[in-house]
């Protein structure tokens, strides 16, 4: 089971690493980092982020959190949950009438990150995540005086990004980055073009440092 997990991570990590410029012979190669990192004990990785993108030319925000594991601080993988904080405005047609509607969208996101440069406070990494979720419209029908929700539509997306993290204090850090949301699959029920550039702002919590400060005990969580 563990070997299959490592092989799967290596394949995904290799895809991400193709975006990294060729390293000099004096610098550790990606493969060396991978082999060394996945032989270490994983640490807990927790972060909250907001992703700004565009639908119909309108700025929207997707917020969520991620929880996973970090291997030697070089490779991070886990699962995220995301949703539109402010539903996107839209217009849909139903029963030969047009209604002002709101687009609501939530998705889970398996993610993988490769930290290609780090120091005491800074981390530069490449991120890749797959979004698997659903969306629907909701509108108010004045005739029936009821809120109407359309059928859910499945959406699958791919989001590569370049990220920068800065550790403010022992317990918390912030980060930013840019990426692109590419929709791989979308049902016909959703008309909006969700493919868009993405701008990322995130808060990172170093749980290991918090626990060590409070209890004085060492745990594998960071």
Q: Residue 28's pLDDT band (boundaries 50, 70, 90)? A: low
CA distance 188 to 37: 43
The tokens for 201 are 């702002």
21 domain-assigned: no
111 domain-assigned: yes
Q: Residue 2's pLDDT band (boundaries 50, 70, 90)? A: very low
Name the range with the highest mean pLDDT among 63-67, 145-149, 206-210.
63-67
Rg of the chain (C-alpha set):
20
Does the pLDDT of residue 208 top 70, yes or no?
no
How many domains does one find in the chain?
1
What pLDDT is recorded for position 217?
62
22 domain-assigned: no
Query: Per-residue pLDDT tens for 135-155?
Result: 988 888 887 778 888 888 999
Does the pLDDT of residue 56 top 80, yes or no?
no
Q: Residue 202's pLDDT band (boundaries 50, 70, 90)? A: confident
Query: Per-residue pLDDT tens for 153-176?
Result: 999 999 999 999 898 887 788 888
72, 75, 80, 86 alpha-carbon torsion, rounded to 10°: 110
Query: Per-residue pLDDT tens for 180-189?
Result: 999 999 888 8
28 domain-assigned: no
What pLDDT is recorded for position 77?
92
CATH number at residue 121: 2.40.160.20
23 domain-assigned: no
CA distance 59 to 151: 25
8 domain-assigned: no
Range of the structural domain that residue 170 is part of: 40-215
Contact 78, 45 (CB under 8 A): yes
**Sequence-distant (≥ 6) Cβ neighbours of residue 27 within 8 angstroms:** none
The tokens for 176 are 């930013």
60 domain-assigned: yes
Does the pLDDT of residue 54 top 50, yes or no?
yes
CA neighbours closer than 13 Å in the CB half-sphere of residue 11: 5
Higher pLDDT, 80 or 150: 80
Pairing of strands 146-149, 97-118: unpaired
Contact 76, 113 (CB under 8 A): yes
Average pLDDT in the 94-105 region?
Answer: 81
- Say what percent of the chain tops pLDDT 70: 78
Q: How many CB atoms lie within 10 A of CB 11?
A: 10
35 domain-assigned: no
């Amino acid at each position: 089971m563990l070997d299959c997990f490592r092989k799967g991570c290596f394949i995904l990590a290799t895809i991400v690493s193709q975006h990294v410029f060729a390293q000099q012979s004096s610098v550790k190669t990606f493969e060396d980092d991978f082999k060394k990192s996945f032989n270490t004990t994983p640490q807990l990785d927790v972060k909250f982020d907001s992703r700004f993108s565009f639908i119909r030319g309108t700025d929207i925000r997707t917020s969520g959190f991620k929880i996973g594991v970090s291997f030697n601080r070089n490779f991070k993988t886990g699962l995220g949950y995301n949703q539109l904080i402010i539903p996107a405005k839209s217009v849909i047609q139903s029963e030969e009438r047009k209604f002002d509607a709101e687009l609501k969208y939530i998705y889970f996101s398996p993610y993988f990150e490769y930290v290609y440069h780090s120091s005491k406070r800074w981390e530069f990494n490449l991120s890749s995540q797959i979004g698997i979720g659903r969306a629907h419209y909701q509108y108010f029908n004045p005739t029936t005086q009821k809120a109407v929700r359309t059928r859910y539509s499945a959406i699958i997306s791919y989001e590569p990004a370049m990220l920068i993290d800065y550790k403010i204090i022992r317990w918390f850090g912030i980060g930013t980055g840019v990426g692109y949301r590419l929709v791989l699959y979308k049902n016909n029920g959703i008309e909006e073009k969700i493919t868009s550039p993405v701008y990322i702002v995130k808060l990172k919590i170093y749980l290991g440092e918090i626990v060590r400060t409070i209890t004085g005990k060492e745990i594998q969580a960071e």
